[in-house]
Amino acid sequence: VGVFDDGAMTDAYGMLARINPGARGEPPKRGSREFAKAYTEMPWLRAITERIAFSCASVTWRLYARRGKSGRAVRDLEWQTAAAPSREKILKAARAHGELIEIEDHPFLTFLRRGNGVLTGRQCRALTTVYGDLLGESYTIKGRNVAGVPDSAWPVPPHWVLETPTPQHRFYRFGFSGWQVDVPDAGVLWMPNPPPEHPY
């Protein structure tokens, strides 16, 4: 799944197509590199940010499904969108009624836990949190196995992003040193914190 679906050009009276009329998306905001550098040069910024990042990265991820009347897993929007206290109650009730299925082996869990050939899964999750907290967005290139399923995460510093996708050109452009590449939008997990003055 990418940033834009096939209706992005016409949804909301063609808003996205007119906001981003060309084939080039916006690069991250200026100063991203300086904020990333400040993390390594300012001990207090690093201490606070790192503590938060590694706390977030240390969360044990679990994958649950709800068993429907047919015995097969069904999608339940309430489970997906409930706040933490409500979700605990929902899971407890589902467990009591035999509706809860914990899935222990799944490509999504592999993607979260594995990391990549250089960084552990915990390091990748922490780095993603640092980028999100300091820079307001994070980018992760999805490594894929031979079946095309995402199985590794490659966090990319936001200042390495040269272009973001548009409805007309659904590619990210990355560049650093001798590495220049266009990646389809479905190959990147982009987690922005949309700024109120320009959320699109």
Q: Tens digit of pLDDT for each residue in 92-101?
A: 998 898 888 8
Separation between Cα atoms, residue 35 and residue 110, nearest integer Å? 31
Q: How many residues does the chain have?
A: 200
CB 171 within 8 A of CB 183: yes
Residue 7 has pLDDT above 80, yes or no: no
Separation between Cα atoms, residue 51 and residue 53, nearest integer Å? 6
The tens digit of pLDDT for each residue in 13-47 reads 777 777 776 666 676 677 788 888 888 889 999 99
CB 7 within 8 A of CB 167: no
pTM over 0.95: no
Average pLDDT on 74-89 reads 86
Average predicted confidence (pLDDT) for the chain: 87
Average pLDDT on 77-102 reads 88
